[in-house]
Amino acid sequence: MTRIRSSLTLALMAIVSFAFATNVTTAAEKAKSAGIAPTLKEVRYGPHERNVMNVWLAKSDKPTAVIFKIHGGGWYTGDIHPTEPAEDWLARGISVVSIRYRLTNTDILPAPLHDAARALQFTRTQAREWNLDPKRIVCMGSSAGACSSLWLALHDDLADPASRDPVARESSKPQAAVATLAQSTLDPRWILEHVGPEALKHRMIFQSFGASSAQEMLDHYEKYRAAIHEFSPLDHVDKNDAPLLLLPGNDLTTPAKNPSHGIHHPNFSVELKARADAAGLPCRLLPAGQGDAASATREFVEAILATKAAAQH
């Protein structure tokens, strides 16, 4: 009887130990997935209340490369998070910057894009204080954040060497961009033909320009033509631009099924890949389900950063 009780006690202890270990592991995993607090919180880069960034600085004796993150949300919603799953980049000696920017609910284009540009320029002004390498910055985002990243990579540099503002004198161009579920153009005519009418129902297409609907833009196309060209990354592709990694979805169904499917349609990336190839711009496209996006991103970023580092020596 004593042996039975001892066996039961040992079995119970094992169960409790296993449950405790499981709970500890789960808690650790949850903590990791939740990310870590920034080194510098809500650093102001401009005059607007949303012109702030969070910064995670990697520990290094040498200036570190930077992942520059732009949140999504159609340019009318979304925000930076108080924590960021930055451990992988920090472990590789790469710092992370994540920005908040003005939204088109109150400030239409160019506000979101020019804020992203200024935030990148501001980051470069802090290179010495934060131990950053201003010549090794990779932009990264999803959806509208991907569109912003592409715009920074492909648009002409906004730097003004003659400006009295030291931030404005810095380059607004990254060394590469990673774009997930990106919009490569905001042209309603192109979208209607290549994606379908459901995409035009998404607020990002028309609210960004101060229009009441995409139909208004189509009806008065000449009124919006210059702005559409200016703010569509597709119209700025050049062989001398920063290399791109495109991570679209895999549902190529057209016309798009609904506004969400439409605004994230793979055809945006397919068209950009074609334009980049024609221009001689390095561009990799990895559709969902045809490879590990996280691994592809790490490999792409590390290859770009290694090339840029070698070029500096």
Q: What pLDDT sits at residue 34? A: 57
Q: What pLDDT sits at residue 300? A: 97
Q: What pLDDT sits at residue 313? A: 63
Q: What pLDDT sits at residue 308? A: 81
DSSP the chain: -HHHHHHHHHHHHHHHHHHHHHHHHHHHHHHHHH-B--SEEEEE-SSSTT-EEEEEPPP-SSPEEEEEEE--STTTS----SSB--HHHHHTTEEEEEE----TTTS-TTHHHHHHHHHHHHHHHTHHHHTEEEEEEEEEEETHHHHHHHHHHHSPP---TT-SSTTTTS----SEEEEES------HHHHHHHT-GGGGGSHHHHHTTT-S-HHHHHHTHHHHHHHHHHH-GGGG--TTS--EEEE--S---SS-SSHHHHHT-HHHHHHHHHHHHHHT--EEE--TTSS-HHHHHHHHHHHHHHHHHHHT-
Q: What pLDDT sits at residue 1? A: 44
CATH number of 37-311: 3.40.50.1820
pLDDT, tens digit only, all 313 positions of the chain? 444 344 433 333 333 333 333 343 343 344 344 589 999 999 999 999 999 999 999 999 999 999 999 999 999 999 987 777 789 999 999 999 999 999 999 999 999 999 999 999 999 999 999 999 999 999 999 999 999 999 999 999 999 999 999 999 999 999 999 999 999 999 999 999 999 999 999 999 999 999 999 999 999 999 999 999 999 999 999 999 999 999 999 999 999 999 999 999 999 999 999 999 999 999 999 988 888 999 999 999 999 999 888 788 6
